[in-house]
Amino acid sequence: MPITLRVAIKPTPSIAKEQNSVDMSKMQNDVLSIHGRHDPCIVPRAVPCVESAVNIALLANMLDYPNFC
């Protein structure tokens, strides 16, 4: 039987909006601003990661129960 999954992935954490933060090395308030490229669509990278995690889980199950296959 085919294996069907539902996967939920949280949004990427980097946003262009400035955020209040703390500089731990100086122990003072700071403003965090992200510069550079931001990829809001992580699906092309997430699919192989999810497939690999499922394969590892299935293999671990098969190794725990040798008569499973």
pLDDT tens, 12-68? 767 778 889 999 999 999 998 877 666 667 778 888 999 999 999 999 988 888 776
Predicted confidence at residue 54, as pLDDT, reads 93
CA distances from 64 to 1, 8, 9, 12, 67 (A): 20, 27, 28, 35, 9
Asked if the model's pLDDT at residue 69 lies above 90, the reply is no
Predicted confidence at residue 16, as pLDDT, reads 75
Direct distance between the N- and C-terminal alpha carbons of the chain, in angstroms, rounded to an integer: 13
Distance between CA 57 and CA 24 in Å, rounded? Answer: 38
- Residue 34 structure tokens: 């992200």
Ranges assigned E (strand) in the chain: 19-23, 28-32
